[in-house]
Amino acid sequence: MASTTPSGNDRKFTFGGLVLDVFTVAYFAFALFPIIWIFLLSLKSQDQLFTTYFAFTPTLEPYKAVLGLSSATESVPFMRYFLNSLIASFGAVFISLLVGVPAAYAFARFKFRGSNDMLFTLLSFRFAPELMVIIPVYVIYQKLHLFDTHLGLIWVFQLITLPLIVWILRSYFQDLTPELEQSALLDGYTRTQAFIKVVLPLVKPGLAAAALLAFIFAWNSFIFPFILTGSNAQTVTVGALAFMGGAKPRYNLTAAASIISLIPPMVLALSIQRYLVRGLTFGAVKG
Amino acid sequence: MSRVDRPLWMDAFSKSRSRRGVLKTAAGLGAAAYAGNMAWSPAVGAQDSAAADVTGDFDWKKADGVTIKALLNVHPYTDALKADLQTFTDLTGITVEYDEFPENNYFDKLTVDLQSGTGTYDVFMLGAYMVWQYGPPGWLEDMNPWIQNPSATNPDYAWDDIYENLRTADNWSLQVGQPLGSGGQYALPWGFEANTIIYNTEVFDKLGVEPAETMDGLVELAAKLTADAPGAGFADMYGIATRGSRQWATIHPGFMTQYSREGGKDFELDGDTLVPVMNSEVSVPFHEKWASMMKNSGPANWTNYFWYEVGTDLGAGKAAMIYDADILGYFQNQPGGSSQAGKLAWHPGPKGPDGSLLTNQWIWSLGMNAKSQNKLAAWLFLQWATGKDHLTMAAIDGNMVNPVRASVVENPQFQEKMNSNLNYLDTFNAIIQDTKILFTPQPAFFDATTLWAGALQEIYGGAPAKETLDALVEEIQASTE
């Protein structure tokens, strides 16, 4: 509906508003088209893959093949890759929260020598390309027998998830007035109790937002799992490409694998949507 | 000419480095920079072979109980290997663990492992061209001492049964520009592709045309097919598909095959210096002719065409013919392989002015990591995987074509199997003696051919051929100085 006034039910039709709405819908379609195209591909049989665009007979065979319900993909254990991704991503976020939340709190509340350097070092993990460190990490992983293990993936994912969580949560902790904790301390709480019972509940939206972002980044990581895993701990981002090789490209299976891979981040985002909206807008509306 | 998209592993060897190549170097590994230098000593990569430690009678059980690790590319050859791995384990007591990656990423993975020097993978697949990059830094085991040691190699291995031009392709002195066929045997041929014409018999029969015997004939034929096929009931069909993307792989199949038949060369050796000659009198008109043919009779988005696009257009009945790997047509021609399965036929392609049937080839080979801690077990695996028994089984029961061994090609069961592919064997036999690597061995191969593909695209886009190829030659010279 075209709208020109900020109040929801009292809108007037204007040409400018209509153009704006049409533009918004067009942009929405444009932005979503790659996903729509992947979805369409995932519903095509192999013989329709290169002969049809939008008019075809949809089939769920690609999904069955990817899920191992047909014999077409015996050599690609995609569900194992899916499980590996879940283990590595949840594991990485869990460890990062465990370490990152107290760290973010400390960075927000205490001034200590080297704190800025440590923060910058953490940040550098994010802006330094993964390729810059991948070969030394590969060598270290071989020596420590972490290559192709879940533990190895969870560990290396800390380069992705920990900086996100520390930097995002630090700003949330900074936004909270210290008087809240001081009041709790006056009431007889220890600092740990004040942190857990007073501060943490207040940054729940931030925790949800940071954890979700960290999960998505870990889930989408390609270079680390590609180089640091073999067939045991391989994740969906690498495993989905396995359908691309061989005598003929099975884009439909890769597309189906991609659609299936979208499910966990989407479910997670929807399930914590209530916190997420508050978390992402928290900084914007503060006084 | 601008830099182009290409796999990460190519950057590891590039002199004119991309950001990612620089980062790899920054990671502290000097091997890449070393490999990019065109003037290394031939002694580089020499090593005392562990083959000398193997003595006594040959015994398949000499490494019983050992586990080796293989890095494999997703490929029908790999499928045939995996299906037969238990046979190897039963024979030797060696367990083979493997990781498998699609080709788009495979060489990134392999390059990182070889660069790291950790020896994680004892054996791996590689193309013969990769020997020119992986060999000089000393990453590849020289297989000659193993082949020549009767204590290490089973008496039935029959090395000479592998076609000579294939053995030669993995055999190099590590000296830039020096021809293949001397020095170390840095990989063993496993399966290969020769570049031919593969065509749709249905449309050829309906239009009453035959495969072309000359380059001019090919241009005319492609134009006729483009003009007449849609009206003859083949909607949206065009004349000819070849690769056209801005990648090295555009140059090596049909293009290089026909270029060589017409007398074209990539480089000439002037003393110790390689001189690019893609702007020669032979080369310029050929580029014009090829680009014009693809413009007039090729797919609309030719500059995006890779291996898969060429193959699937043939299989989908969009391309009347292709000039690419013979096995690309083979996979499309298998029952259930495509909508045109059973309708495809092979032809050697146009002869050169002097009747030349020179044909460029791609060889999937197997190599051994020079840093492997299990070299005897790795060698037993390699000789089994490239041996008669496995390759015969893989060719007859699997899709291991083209076979690298003459005995497999001559096997009546294989011949019977291939008879369902019209003129496949006749074409194979017509070109096999002239099928070889037609490029000049050098580590800048991938950079040079990628730039070359870019120049071809520019000519396709309307740029004057002579000026474009002169600029190409200058750029290649500048990048290798």
Give A231's contacts in chain B (Cβ within 8 Å).
98-100
Q: Could you tell me where the DSSP H helices lie in chain A?
A: 15-42, 61-66, 78-109, 115-127, 130-144, 150-175, 178-186, 191-193, 200-202, 204-220, 223-228, 236-239, 251-271, 273-285
Nearest Cα residue in chain B from A45: B338
Give every CB contact of residue A6 below 8 A, 6+ residues apart in sequence.
Answer: none
Buried b or exposed e, range B206-220, using 16+ CB within 10 angstroms: ebebebbeebeebbb
Which structure tokens are listed for B478?
């500048």
3-state secondary structure of B193: strand
| pLDDT range class, residue A12, cuts 50, 70, 90 | confident
Among A237-246, B96-105, B206-215, B288-297, which stretch is predicted with the lowest mean pLDDT? A237-246
Give B332's contacts in chain A (Cβ within 8 Å).
248
Residue A231, pLDDT above cutoff 50: yes
Interface of B with A in 256-315 (CB under 8 A): 308, 311-313, 315
Q: What whole-number distance in Å separates Cα of residue A22 and Cα of residue A25? A: 5
| pLDDT range class, residue A127, cuts 50, 70, 90 | confident
| pLDDT range class, residue A68, cuts 50, 70, 90 | confident
Res B4: pLDDT? 36
% of chain B with per-residue pLDDT over 90: 86
> Using one digit for the tens of pLDDT, what is the confidence trace for A74-87?
568 999 999 999 99
Q: What whole-number distance in Å separates Cα of residue B264 and Cα of residue B257? A: 10
| pLDDT range class, residue A2, cuts 50, 70, 90 | very low
Res A285: pLDDT? 43
Choose among B20, B75, B100: nearest Cβ to A131: B20
Give phi and psi for B399, each to the nearest 5: -120, 45
Average pLDDT, chain B: 91
| pLDDT range class, residue A281, cuts 50, 70, 90 | low
Q: What whole-number distance in Å separates Cα of residue A72 and Cα of residue A243? A: 10
3-state secondary structure of B475: helix
- Contact check, Cβ <8 Å, A248/B308: yes
Residue B6, pLDDT above cutoff 60: no
Beta-strand (E) ranges in B141-293? Answer: 171-172, 184-185, 188-200, 238-241, 267-270, 273-276
- Contact check, Cβ <8 Å, A231/B118: no
- Contact check, Cβ <8 Å, A247/B399: yes
What DSSP line would sit under A238-278, residue for residue? HHGGGGG-SSS--HHHHHHHHHHHHHHHHHHHHHTHHHHHH
**A169-173, A278-282, B139-143 — which one is most confidently predicted on average?**
B139-143
Res B20: pLDDT? 37
Task: Using a CB–CB cutoff of 8 Å, tell me whether B118 touches chain A.
Answer: yes
Res A4: pLDDT? 45
Q: How far apart are the first and last CA of chain A?
A: 33
- Contact check, Cβ <8 Å, B315/A50: yes
Between A282 and A18, the higher pLDDT residue = A18
Which structure tokens are listed for B263?
């007398």
What value does the mean pLDDT take over residues A199-212? 92
What value does the mean pLDDT take over residues B2-26? 42
Using the 8-state DSSP alphabet, how is residue B441 labeled? P
Element (H, E) at B321: strand B319-325
Q: Of A131, A235, A254, which to mutate for an interface test with B (greatest number of B Cβ within 10 Å)?
A: A131
Residue A15, pLDDT above cutoff 50: yes
- Count helices and strands (H / E) in chain B: 21, 13
Res B382: pLDDT? 98
Res A108: pLDDT? 93
User: For A130, left (φ over 0), alpha (ψ -120 to 50), or beta?
Assistant: alpha
Res B381: pLDDT? 98
How many Cβ atoms sit within 10 Å of the Cβ of residue B478? 10
Res A248: pLDDT? 78
| pLDDT range class, residue B272, cuts 50, 70, 90 | confident
Give A134's contacts in chain B (Cβ within 8 Å).
27, 112
Res A253: pLDDT? 93
Choose among B8, B116, B339: nearest Cβ to A51: B339
Nearest Cα residue in chain B from A239: B101
Which structure tokens are listed for B218?
């090919």
> Using one digit for the tens of pLDDT, what is the confidence trace for B320-347?
999 999 999 999 999 988 999 999 999 9
Give B24's contacts in chain A (Cβ within 8 Å).
131, 135
Q: What whole-number distance in Å separates Cα of residue A242 and Cα of residue B99? A: 11
> Using one digit for the tens of pLDDT, what is the confidence trace for B408-443?
999 999 999 999 999 999 999 999 999 999 999 999
Between A46 and B143, the higher pLDDT residue = B143
- Contact check, Cβ <8 Å, B101/A242: yes
What value does the mean pLDDT take over residues A4-24? 76
Q: What whole-number distance in Å separates Cα of residue A277 and Cα of residue A224? A: 30
What value does the mean pLDDT take over residues B14-27? 39
